[in-house]
Amino acid sequence: MQPIANEAPAPPAVHSEIVAMLARAAKAYGDGDYEGFVTNYLPAEETTMVIYPAASGPPREGAAVLLRGIDAIRRFYADAPMFKPEFDRPRLSYERVEVDQIAPERSADRGHLAGHA
C-alpha cells in the first residue's frame, strides 16, 4: 500500500478502534443492514472512501470510485444491490488493516476487503 505524506502509525488504541469499526461495517453488510453499515463512518464532509473494483493485480487508472463526504457514501450505497433482500452476500472481513495518524483526530485507514462464501 502506498504511504501518505506526513503519516505515522496510529497509536494501538486508535488502530484497534478502526479495526473494530471495520468489523461492525462488515457485519452490517453481511446482515444487509444499510443503516448499520453507513453509521460506522464519520458523518462529516471529510470522510472519504475509495472503492477499487474486484480484480487481481493492481488497480487500473480511473477504475476506482472516490466518495467524498458521508452524503456521497450514503447515496452510493442507498440503492446498491448488496443491500437488497435478494442479494446473495458473501461474508466480508478486512485483512491487513493499516491505520496511520495524519493529523490530530484524523487517520488514513487501508485494508484488504475479503469476501468469503
Q: 10-19: per-residue pLDDT in tens?
A: 889 888 998 9
pLDDT score, position 1: 46
Which of 61, 63, 52 is CA-nearest to residue 113?
52
Which amino acid type is present at position 117? A
Question: For the chain, what is the mean pLDDT?
Answer: 83
Domain ranges of the chain: 8-44+70-91
| Over residues 110-115, mean pLDDT | 75
Residue 103 pLDDT > 60, yes or no?
yes
- Candidate ranges 6-15, 29-38, 43-52, 107-116; pick with highest mean pLDDT: 29-38
Give alpha helix (H) positions in 31-85. 34-38, 70-78
Residue 6 pLDDT > 70, yes or no?
no
pTM of model > 0.85 = no
Kindly report the number of other CB atoms within 10 A of residue 99's CB atom: 21
